[in-house]
Amino acid sequence: MTENEDYEIADLISKISPYIRFIGVVGKTGELLSYYRREDLDPLLDQKKTQYQFAQIAIKTELEEQFDEQLGDTEFVWEERTKVQTIAFAISSKRIWITIDKNVIRSEMLRIIDSCLPIVKRYSSQLAKYLLVYCDESAEDFKVDGNSLPAFNQTESEFRSPRAYIRAQQSHYKGFYRYLIKEDVDKGWLATEMHKHEAFRDSIKAEKMLTVEAREERKEKQWERLEEFGSNLNVKNLVVLDPVIKVINIEEDDLDERLEGLEQERAYKESLPNWISEAGINAELLYTEHMNPSDLDSYNEFCQLEEWVYEARIYHQFGLMPVSIDIRERLPADTRYVCRIVGVVDKDDWDSYYFGLFDLKRGKIVYQRYETVGRNLSMGDLEKQTKTDLKIIAN
């Protein structure tokens, strides 16, 4: 896991229950990698005893691993003390340690555990999926001799040039990452997790083997089903990010073309609220030109949503789940869905249209469509395509 993921895990778990006091992501040697502490909370342990506690967690984890082969991996540990309750989960070589108020009833504790498990499992499995499917690696490729990478002991004088010396160093250390997960490979964790994703890998390979005709036929059938039955999303509330009409591949001094694109964008933005209303959807329109220059909250909300939607599109291409999931509580908007619409006027090629719907709860693109619309993208084209997409996501 990366440093960013350490913080993401603590943040995600903190949203599960108001009774959570503290969340710590603890490294293999007992160092605190990231944490969350509830506001206005007096810690039960001082700094020195907290460090002892994390060291004890690391030692205990190492001792318990000796029985994993016979008893299986530990999924979680729940302890009840006189002043607090604790839960611990393992993600690869790290431990997630959570403290909860003592007076919390058992049904709420079980709900917290059930909510944590999917988060823990998702983060522990993503690396294996990526290595298997997109890096074409196997667990055997990560097996190494020894516990650490041997040092590069040659000197520059042994090489014909400084460049050759640097290249030799790079070649020697290029496999360092295998030692980072050596423990997980030796325990069989990587092989087990990779096996879970083999069907997905095979489906990706089968997809690449499809002919252009087969892809087009499948796309037409999918589109016919969407038009007839809708998407089953039943979207009723929506945040719409600033729609954009881009004009590309024109001369730098062609001001008329740029102005024409801006006029078309303005007309589209004015018409869009009516089309959304006709589809039976309530929308919050985040148009940057309507924001007060001093309204930093609105600008920040817009920028965060732009970032998350872009992240979701990139991850969607590889069938991966973004690290930002269920971020609704961070936003003032009372909605689950965010919409992104882009039109492209290309003077050298076909014009195009894109409509994407992002689910804030699931952290992923749940509907998107990219369409080429011939030459000279018109308001009629934009209206037709947009109304079609709004109808689909509303049903």
Summarize pLDDT for 42-86 with one digit per residue, the tens.
778 777 777 777 777 777 776 766 666 666 667 778 888 888 888
Does this model's pTM top 0.85? no
Residues in the chain: 395
Higher pLDDT, 272 or 40: 272
- Mean pLDDT score, 337-349: 83
| Tokens coding 192 | 């087990």
Q: Domains (ranges, CATH) in the chain?
A: 3-130 (3.30.450.30), 140-206 (no CATH), 215-394 (3.40.50)
DSSP 8-state class, residue 308:
H
**Cβ proximity of 363 and 336 under 8 Å:** no
**Which residue do the tokens 């038009």 mark?**
227
| Alpha helices by DSSP H, 187-295 | 189-196, 198-209, 212-229, 255-278
- Mean pLDDT score, 266-286: 89
Q: Is the pLDDT of residue 24 over 50?
A: yes
Element (H, E) at 69: helix 68-71
Q: Which DSSP string do the residues of 76-121 spell out, in sequence order?
A: EEEEE-SSEEEEEEEETTEEEEEEEETT--HHHHHHHHHHHHHHHH
Percent of the chain with pLDDT over 70: 85
Half-sphere exposure of 135 (CA within 13 A, CB side): 13
Confidence tier at 276 by pLDDT (50, 70, 90): very high
Summarize pLDDT for 293-324 with one digit per residue, the tens.
788 877 777 777 787 777 777 776 666 655 55
